[in-house]
Amino acid sequence: MRRERVLKIVLVVVGLLFIAGVIPLTMFFSREPAVPMIMSIYVALGIFLLLAVRDPVANRSLIAFAGWANLAHAAVMAAQEYRNVIERRELAGVVVFAIVGAVLVLLAPAKQSVEKASAVVA
């Protein structure tokens, strides 16, 4: 029960961060046209993460997707930074996306067995 409560708090914080903070910050500090485009996806993801707070178990795949997508984004950014494609100051984004991704993956609800799922419905 405590894990689910922590997950709900994380979903609210990440959802609000994606909706309220990411887009304005990246639009003001980035001159790359691709950055606002990718961040617009994060706004939609933030909305759905906030909706997932109601029933995290039913939204397990969304939470797992959000976690793995953030880890993938962090990995791509890290590779870009290593190859000097992006500026070193973007390294903070790598850390943030990696932390968010790892926390979501670690807190994602466990996959329910068919027996448990049918018992819950009944």
Q: How many residues does the chain have?
A: 122
The amino acid occupying position 117 is A
pLDDT of residue 35: 72
pLDDT of residue 94: 87
100 or 93, higher pLDDT: 100
Q: What is the tens place of the pLDDT at every residue in 23-82?
A: 566 666 667 777 777 778 888 999 999 999 999 999 999 999 999 999 999 999 899 988
pTM value is 0.81
pLDDT of residue 121: 60
3-state secondary structure the chain: CHHHHHHHHHHHHHHHHHHHHHHHHHHHHCCCCHHHHHHHHHHHHHHHHHHHCCCCCCCHHHHHHHHHHHHHHHHHHHHHHHCCCCCHHHHHHHHHHHHHHHHHHHHCCCCCCHHHHHHHHC
pLDDT of residue 50: 97
Residue 12's nearest CA partner among 42, 53, 66 is: 53
Copy the structure tokens of residue 67. Answer: 């976690």
